[in-house]
Amino acid sequence: MRRHVLRWAVLTALGLLAGGSDGRGEGWKAGTAKVAITPRSPVWMAGYGSRDRPSEGAVHDLWAKALGLEDPSGKKCLVVTLDVCGIDRALSRRVRDAIKKDHGLGDDRVVLACSHTHCGPVVGENLLTMYPLDEAQRRAVAEYTASFERAIRDAAAAALAKLEPADLAWESGRADFAVNRRTNKEPDVPALRARNALEGPVDHDVPVLRVRGADKGVRAVVFGYACHCTVLSFNKFCGDYAGFAQVALESRYPGAQAMFVAGCGADQNPLPRRTVELAERYGHALADAVGRVVDAPMREIATGLVAAYEEIPLRFAPLPERPQIEEDARSSNGYVARRAAKLLKTIERDGRLSPTYPYPVQVWKLGDLTWVFLGGEVVVDYSLRFKRNLGSSGTWVSGYCNDVMAYIPSLRVLKEGGYEGETAMIYYGLPTKWSEQVETQIVEAVTRLERSVAAGH
C-alpha cells in the first residue's frame, strides 16, 4: 500500500484578517497552460467497441490543460484535465513520476483528470482489449501516446512557470440533463421526463472553482458534472458536451482557461443523444450553469491546501482458474479472447494474477471545500454517499482521475450486475468483477484521508 500525506501550511486568523475587506485570499498564485492533443493523423478512437476504422477528422481540438497553484505557504499543486476517454496506470505512473522529478510534486499534489469523451483517441493500454487493432494501428497508438505524455509534461511545466498572484473561490450550481441509464431506457426518456417519471439516483450538482488574477479578471474555471461524455459516437474527434462547454466558457470569459473534471457519472448518460446539435445544447446548458456560479458571489478560499493520497489494494472476486482463461482465449467473442490473451501474458510474466488492484484515492482540503478524487468509472452512488455524510454544501467528488482502470460499482450496482457491475471488466482486461467489499474499501479510504486533511495533516 502506498500512502502519501502532506501537511500544507494554513493561514493564521491574523493572516486571514489581513487579507483585505473583500475577504479575498491573499498569497495564492496561479498559472495556466494548454497543449492541443488532437491526433494529426488517423488513429483508433476510444470508448466504443463497435467502431471498425480509425478516426476521420475532428469537430474541434482536444486539449491537455494544466492549472498550477501555489498556496500562501509556497507549496505547489497541479490539476491537469485531459480530453480523453481514460488513461491506464502505467501511463499515469510515468507522467506523475516525471512531474515529481521535474517539479518536486508528489502524488498527493497532482491530479490527472480525464473528461471521458468517447470521441477521443485510444491512449496507452486503456481499454485496449476492446479494440481489434492490427500491428500498424498499435504502432500508431504507441506513437500518439508518446506525444500525449510529452504534451502533459509541457502543459504542467508551462503552468507552473507562469505562477502569478491570484485568488480562488468555489461554489456549486445545477444542470439537469444527466439521466440514470440503468433505470431508464434511452428511447423512453423524453416521454418519461414529460410524465415526471424518470427513475434512479442522479447528481445534478455543478461544482466550480474560479481563479481570478490580480486585476480581478477570470483566469481559470474548473468545473464538474456527473454524466458520461457519450452524446456522440461518430468517427470524429470531439470533446463531446464537456468540450463544447469549455469552448463556450472560454468565449464568455476571454483570457480564461476552462477545465472539465468529470464527476461520478459512470451510470449516467446525456439523454437523448447522438447528434452534434444535442452535444452543443448540453454543453451550453452546462456552461450557463457554470456562468451563473462564476457571476454570483462565491466562497473565497483563503487558507492553504492540505492534500492526501493513498493506493488501496482493491479486491477482486475469486479469480478464474487457468483452464478457464485458456478456454476463453479460444472464444469466438473477440473481446473475451483478447482479455484472456492479456491475462495469460500476465501469468507468464508474474506467475499469477493479482487478487487486488492498486486503486488511487486522493482528497484535497481547500478552505471549506473537501474535494475527493477517485480512479475509474465511478457510479453516482459514491458522490451521493459522500455528500450525504460529509455535507453536500462543502463536498466535490470527481471520478476518472489518475487511473481509469475499470468501472467502480457500488455494492448495490455490483449485486444488480449488468454492464457497470460486471461485464465491462472484459473490455478493461481485468480478470473478473470486484469483490463485495469494493464500496467498503473505498469509503474507508476516503474517510481516512478526509479525517487526515480535516485535521491538517
Domain ranges of the chain: 2-312+356-454, 320-350
Cα dihedral sign, 247-248-251-254: negative
Supply the pLDDT for residue 375: 98
How far is residue 389 from each of residues 46, 370, 394, 395, 443, measured CA to CA in Å? 35, 12, 11, 10, 11
For residue 21, pLDDT beyond 80: no
Supply the pLDDT for residue 11: 30
Helix (H, G, I), strand (E, B) or coil at 126: coil
Average pLDDT over residues 206-235: 97
Residue 114 neighbours by CB under 8 Å, 6+ apart:
81, 82, 84, 85, 86, 87, 262, 400, 401, 404
Average pLDDT, the chain: 93
Supply the pLDDT for residue 179: 98
Paired residues of 377 in beta bridges: 407
**Residue 5 banded pLDDT, cuts 50, 70, 90:** very low
For residue 19, pLDDT beyond 90: no
Supply the pLDDT for residue 456: 87
84 C-beta neighbours (distance < 10 Å), count: 27
Tell the residue number behind the cell numbers 482536444, with chain if given. 62
For residue 24, pLDDT beyond 80: no
Average pLDDT over residues 327-337: 97
User: What are φ and ψ of residue 244, in 5° steps?
Assistant: -65, -35
Dist. CA 194–CA 191, nearest whole Å: 5
For residue 26, pLDDT beyond 60: no
For residue 388, pLDDT beyond 70: yes
pLDDT tens digits, one per residue of 166-185: 999 999 999 999 999 999 99
For the chain, give the percent of residues with pLDDT over 90.
93
Tell the residue number behind the cell numbers 459512470, with chain if given. 266
How far is residue 318 from each of residues 121, 269, 284, 322, 431, measured CA to CA in Å? 33, 31, 45, 13, 9
